[in-house]
Structure formats: structure tokens, C-alpha cells
């Protein structure tokens, strides 16, 4: 099964970066690199690595900025890759997809389980979509079920 994690507001405290909106309006990627983790990354890495060893595929599905150029989207993608390498260095993701803001995440991933802070993403995903607060509970259940 594929397990997908959103980044901003789910595992990364993007919205906690002071002045994040101003940065985005100026096409500055600072919030994407400066965001602190929202959850225990060491525990998340252990769970993801166990699940991957059990045959699950692990992916990131995240949007770029609501506004901005194509060049800015590329820069956002690079910043997010570096953030993941810094905070989850032991996880070898099967997929990392940084899509345009508003892209239907189900369409570009093919399904599985999604953890996302945005309700509309969970709604369009349907069954198997969870709020970030459920990450450790659901992943733990999956590990035990194997």
C-alpha cells in the first residue's frame, strides 16, 4: 500500500514561520526551509522505515505556493527536498511529488493512505485520508497488522 504525507501544516510548521505570506508574495522560499517539524521526526522515520520494510511505499505529496511563477514552483520543490533530507534523512521516499497549488492529490498519486491537514484534500481523497493527528496511531496499527 502507498502511504502519502503532506508537508505544510502536516509534518512541517510552515505556517508558524513569521511572515510566511509575505515571503511567498515575494517568491522567497524561506518558509519552506525554515519551518520546524510539527511532529517527532525520529519516531516518524522509524515507523516509515518499518512500513517500507514490510512492503509499503512511502511518498510525499505537497503543493507549491498558491501564487507564483513556474520558476518559483521549482525553487519550492528544491527547498522541500532539502527540508526532507534534513529532517528525515534515513527515509528513502519512493515518491516525492511537489504539485501546483490546488492539484487533486488523489489524481496524481493513484491512492493509498493520505495524511493531510487540509480538509478539502481529505474529502476529495475519500476513505483512507486522515488528519495529521492520526499519523502515529494509523502507522502503528499498520505495523502491528503486518
- 3-class SS at 138? helix
Tell whether domain 2-145 is in CATH 3.40.50.1000: yes
- Residue 132 near residue 39, CB atoms below 8 Å: yes
Q: What local confidence, expressed as pLDDT, does residue 146 receive?
A: 78
Cα angle: 9, vertex 24, 96; to 5 degrees: 50
Domain ranges of the chain: 2-145
pLDDT(67) > 90: no
Instruction: Copy the grid coordinates of residue 125.
Output: 481523497
Band the pLDDT of 77: cuts 50, 70, 90. very high
Tens of pLDDT, residue by residue over 96-112, are 999 999 999 999 999 99
Nearest 5°: phi and psi at 87?
-95, -20
pTM above 0.75, yes or no: yes
Cα–Cα–Cα angle for 27, 34, 25, rounded to 5 degrees: 20
Q: Which residues pair with 3 in a beta bridge?
A: 58, 113
The overall average pLDDT reported for the chain is: 97
Amino acid at each position: 500500500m502507498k502511504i502519502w504525507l503532506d508537508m505544510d501544516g502536516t509534518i512541517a510548521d510552515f505556517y508558524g514561520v513569521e511572515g510566511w505570506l509575505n515571503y511567498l508574495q515575494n517568491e522567497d522560499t524561506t518558509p519552506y526551509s525554515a519551518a520546524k517539524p510539527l511532529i517527532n521526526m525520529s519516531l516518524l522515520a522509524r515507523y516509515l522505515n518499518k512500513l517500507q520494510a514490510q512492503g509499503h511505499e512511502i511518498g510525499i505529496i505537497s503543493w507549491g505556493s498558491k501564487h507564483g511563477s513556474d520558476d518559483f514552483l521549482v525553487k519550492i520543490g528544491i527547498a522541500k527536498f532539502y527540508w526532507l533530507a534534513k529532517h528525515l534523512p534515513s527515509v528513502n521516499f519512493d515518491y516525492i511529488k511537489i504539485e501546483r497549488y490546488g492539484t487533486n492529490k488523489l489524481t496524481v498519486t493513484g491512492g493509498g493512505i493520505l495524511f493531510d491537514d487540509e480538509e478539502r484534500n481529505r474529502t476529495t481523497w475519500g476513505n483512507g485520508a486522515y488528519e495529521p493527528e492520526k499519523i502515529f496511531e494509523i502507522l502503528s496499527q499498520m505495523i502491528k497488522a503486518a
